[in-house]
């Protein structure tokens, strides 16, 4: 192979590799509504795990750092606010999700958090746009009922819940 053809071949391989990587990713967008209850906002680190019906999951360890879209000086998860987060991540096998786990690390001066709902939109190459609404209406706190630092909502079929509990494939997304 001629020396001048090697850089072109390398460039072509890089382009194909980049396209394959991008094509395997989905865009995840979250709209999370904090309730209007007194002390309903939080300063804790919030993580999210999304599950599909095959047992695949996508885990975001700090949703604000990963994909906060509200600006650098914005105070996320405050009473009555709708916060927006978006980022790239590995697509699940099913290409959509049916369960969500929101978790607080319990840190900060106001760790309790009352969540009204989470709306998640997923899209990717050769996929349609899927929108899933999760009604939460729960305190995520260790000092208010149900005294848990997480809220789990599952709209998958009962047969897929057993698959999901054993975990098939987990992708961790960090900033």
pLDDT band with cut points at 50, 70 and 90 for residue 127: confident
- Give the H/E segment covering residue 124: strand 113-124
Output b/e per residue, 100-110; b: 16+ Cβ within 10 A.
bbbbbebeeee
Domain residue limits, the chain = 26-165
SS3 (DSSP) at 99? strand
Q: Rounded to two decimals, what is the model's pTM?
A: 0.80
Average pLDDT over residues 28-35: 98
**Beta carbons of 117 and 136 less than 8 angstroms apart:** yes
Location of structure tokens 């848990």: 148
Above 80 in pLDDT, residue 120? yes
SS3 (DSSP) at 148? strand
Q: What's the pLDDT score for residue 95?
A: 80
Reported residue count of the chain is 175
% of the chain beyond a pLDDT of 70: 77
φ/ψ of 56, rounded to 5, equals -70, 150
Q: What's the pLDDT score for residue 173?
A: 66
- For residue range 56-105, list pLDDT tens digits in order: 999 999 999 999 999 889 999 999 999 999 999 999 888 889 999 999 99
Task: Give me the architecture of the 26-165 domain, per CATH.
Answer: Sandwich (2.60)
Q: What's the pLDDT score for residue 164?
A: 46
Average pLDDT over residues 28-44: 96
φ/ψ of 118, rounded to 5, equals -135, 130
Q: CA-CA distance, 111 to 45, in Å (whole number)?
A: 9
């Amino acid at each position: 192979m001629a020396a001048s053809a090697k850089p072109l071949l390398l460039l072509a391989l890089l382009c194909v590799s980049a396209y394959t990587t991008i094509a395997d990713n989905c865009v995840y967008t979250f709209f999370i509504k904090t309730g209007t209850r007194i002390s309903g906002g939080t300063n804790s680190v919030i993580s999210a795990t999304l599950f599909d019906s095959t047992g695949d999951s996508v885990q975001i360890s700090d949703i604000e750092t990963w994909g906060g879209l509200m600006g650098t000086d914005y105070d996320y998860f405050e009473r009555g606010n709708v916060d927006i987060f978006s980022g790239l991540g590995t697509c699940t096998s099913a290409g959509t999700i049916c369960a969500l786990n929101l978790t607080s690390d319990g840190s900060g001066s106001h760790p309790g958090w009352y969540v009204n709902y989470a709306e998640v939109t997923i899209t990717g190459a050769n996929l349609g746009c899927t929108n899933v609404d999760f009604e939460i209406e729960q305190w995520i706190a260790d000092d208010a009922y149900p005294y848990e630092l997480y809220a789990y909502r599952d709209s998958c079929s009962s047969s897929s819940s057993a698959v999901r509990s054993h975990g098939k494939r987990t992708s961790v997304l960090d900033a």
